[in-house]
């Protein structure tokens, strides 16, 4: 099912594999790649999220490693916004 939503729903099953999911420690857990520059922003509804700013190359971005456990079912949700 494809659906666009204004706000990301809360983590299912209490979350657990994402480091600093609520951004209580700013951008800790995120890895800046190449010449990326990230910052935290807050939506009108209070949802906290990261943005990549001042990109000049496709590889200017950020990531976060996750460690999956065998036999554990995980779901991932993301909101992406592209400016052309």
52 in any annotated domain: yes
Structure tokens at 58: 């496709």
* Counted domains in the chain: 1
Query: Cβ–Cβ contacts within 10 Å for residue 38, how many?
Result: 19
Q: Is the pLDDT of residue 22 over 80?
A: no
Residue 81's pLDDT is 66
Contact 39, 51 (CB under 8 A): yes
24 in any annotated domain: yes
4 in any annotated domain: no
The pLDDT tens digits of the residues spanning 53-72 come to 888 888 888 888 887 888 87
Average pLDDT rounded to a whole number, residues 33-53? 81
How deeply is 33 buried, as exposed, middle or buried, from its count of CB atoms within 10 A (0-12, 13-18, 19+)?
A: middle
11 in any annotated domain: no
Structure tokens at 33: 């790649």
27 in any annotated domain: yes
Residue 25's pLDDT is 75
Residue closest to 64 by CA, chosen among 12, 18, 23, 24: 18
Q: What is the pTM of this model?
A: 0.56
Residue 38's pLDDT is 82
10 in any annotated domain: no
Q: What average pLDDT does the structure give for the chain? A: 75
Residue span of the structural domain in which 39 resides: 16-63
Structure tokens at 72: 């554990």
């Amino acid at each position: 099912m494809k659906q666009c939503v204004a706000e990301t729903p809360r983590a299912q099953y209490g979350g657990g594999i994402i480091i600093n999911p609520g951004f209580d420690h700013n951008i800790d857990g995120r890895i800046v790649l190449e010449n990326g520059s990230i910052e935290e922003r807050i939506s009108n509804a209070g949802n906290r999220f990261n943005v990549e700013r001042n990109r000049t190359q496709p590889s200017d971005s950020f990531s976060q490693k996750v460690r999956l456990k065998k036999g554990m079912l995980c779901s991932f949700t993301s909101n992406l916004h592209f400016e052309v």
